[in-house]
Amino acid sequence: MNECTSDRVANDLKTLNLKFLMFARETISHFPMESAYIFGLNSEQLKKISSMSVEEIIFASESGRSLIKIDLIEKVSDFPSGLLASLEAC
């Protein structure tokens, strides 16, 4: 990867991390129970993210690592039925 491409990837990753953490913090504050499943986090992790300041989020987003976990769902039946019903109601 050339330097320009590498810089672009690093900048895109910072932006994704920042947006993801801001989204996660907001979602956790409004929907704490659903957020545990949606983000695959335990209660301690949820508490940490929900209490992060903007400065802490910015610092974490610049880690150089993806803060987003990819967990592909094989089929719709893998969703818990209660969550699936609430998502369909929206």
pTM: 0.73
Angle at 27 between CA 19 and CA 53, to 5 degrees: 60
Give pLDDT tens digits for 42-66: 999 999 999 999 999 999 999 999 9
Question: What is the structure's pLDDT at 72?
Answer: 74
Give pLDDT tens digits for 5-27: 889 999 999 999 999 999 999 99
3-89 adopts what CATH topology? Flagellar transcriptional activator fold (1.10.4000)
Q: What percent of the chain has pLDDT over 90?
A: 59
Question: What is the structure's pLDDT at 65?
Answer: 92
* Contact status, residue 61 vs residue 30, Cβ threshold 8 Å: no
Question: What is the structure's pLDDT at 26?
Answer: 97
> How many Cβ atoms sit within 10 Å of the Cβ of residue 38?
14
Alpha-carbon span 4 to 15, nearest angstrom:
17
Nearest Cα to Cα of residue 24 among 12, 41, 2, 7: 41
Judged against a pLDDT cut of 60, whether residue 90 lies above it is answered with no
